[in-house]
Amino acid sequence: MSRNLGATSLRRRARSGDPMRSYDALAPELRRWMAQAALPWSARSCARLWDRARRQGLGPNYALAALSRAERRQLERDRLSTVSWTEASGPEHHCPALSSPDGD
């Protein structure tokens, strides 16, 4: 079976459970971020990073910026990636209100 992951040097991970049910349970902002992400993130991974940022008291836009930074780090690690950071989903693309003091 062909996979829609493209060429990557990053390790693939197996999923457990129903990925669509996990995706549907995510916050709408997070689902929008995932739809435009450069990498095929799992709902579980995104939810873990989102929840961590929100527990730290960050607003949704700052939580999305944290996800974008994590994605950038992954893209930098991937030696086979053809996506540059400017093409990838960056914080400025997903978080227009980053200059807002409360991040909401």
Instruction: Tell me which residue range forms the domain holding 70.
Output: 61-104
More confident: 53 or 9: 53
Residue 51 belongs to some domain of the structure = no
Residue 28 belongs to some domain of the structure = no
Of the candidates 53, 34, 31, the residue with the CA atom closest to the CA atom of residue 103 = 53
Residue 5 belongs to some domain of the structure = no
- pLDDT 10s digits, 35-93: 999 888 889 999 999 999 999 999 999 999 999 999 999 888 876 666 555 544 444 44
The 3 state secondary structure assigned to the chain is CCCCCCCCCCCCCCCCCCHHHHHHCCCHHHHHHHHHCCCCCCHHHHHHHHHHHHHCCCCHHHHHHHHHHHHHHHHHHCCCCCCCCCCCCCHHHHCCCCCCCCCC
Q: What is the pLDDT of residue 95?
A: 47
Residue 27 belongs to some domain of the structure = no
Residue found by looking up tokens 């940022």 in the block? 53
pLDDT at 12 over 60: yes
pLDDT band at residue 19 under the 50/70/90 scheme? confident
